[in-house]
A = this chain, B = another copy of it.
Amino acid sequence: MNLILFEPAETSVPLPRTDARAMHILKVLRRHVGDTFDCGLVNGPRGKATLAAVSPEALTLRFAWDATPPPAPAPITLLLGLPRPQTARDILRDATSLGVAALHFVTTEKGDPNYALSSLWSSGEWRRHLVIGAEQAFDTHLPAVTHGRPFEEIVATLPPASTRLVLDNYESPTALSAFHLMSEKAVVAFGPERGWSAAERDLFRASGFQFVHLGSRVLRAETATIAAVTLIRAKLGLL
């Protein structure tokens, strides 16, 4: 991790020695009393933390925040047919590192219903992967995330005036790399393992989505997500 993120409520109380961040500060960064390290406030500023005291139970930290927060996340929303949990973990982390505004993991007709029941979602573990991704990118912003809501419900809530794209290597005549973005916001949809149903394709078309592809090579969902977000960030002038 390139900076260590804290929740607002955590900045006024000691950090327990059992917290993974306390271990990281002492054992990996090897900080002693009086030393500083890079920190951030979730969805807030970056800054410097000073290790003020170390007891057997906890670390006492003092925070000094930068006056201006890091740039807002890119106006990119991802809509993903719920993948298997290990794939979702990587996408949560990597999409946050690359910088997106929102991630919606939706249920679909041909998706495996067990994926929505994973402890990744029910235990709240999913949020940890956002934190890891933001810390990697030296950012404080976590994307908005929904999970397990039906595809149709999320499509109805998408930002208006956004370019809407759905990745599909079978139905799309247009390469994403050759697509001209006509707006400053983008929504990109990625199908579940078994693809979209005919009804879902119809709803995409009725909702202003255009079908694009990433070339003839079949990529893992994790790889395709990184590739598509990279191309869109470049098109938005953010890379």
Complex Cα–Cα for A157 and B215 (A): 30
Write out the residue numbers on chain B whose beta carbons fall within 8 Å of the beta carbon of A217: 97-99, 137-139
Report if A175 contacts B (CB, 8 A). yes
Report if A26 contacts B (CB, 8 A). no
Report if A20 contacts B (CB, 8 A). no
Which of the residues B214, B219, B230 comes within 8 Å of A231, measured between beta carbons?
Answer: B230
CB distance from A156 to the nearest CB of B (A): 31
Report if A223 contacts B (CB, 8 A). yes
Question: Mask for A205-239, Cβ within 8 A of B = 1, else 0?
Answer: 00000000011011110010011001101100011
* Known contacts A177-B234, A220-B136; A215/B227 CB under 8 A: no
* Known contacts A94-B223, A223-B226, A226-B226; A2/B231 CB under 8 A: no
Write out the residue numbers on chain B whose beta carbons fall within 8 Å of the beta carbon of A98: 217, 219, 223, 227
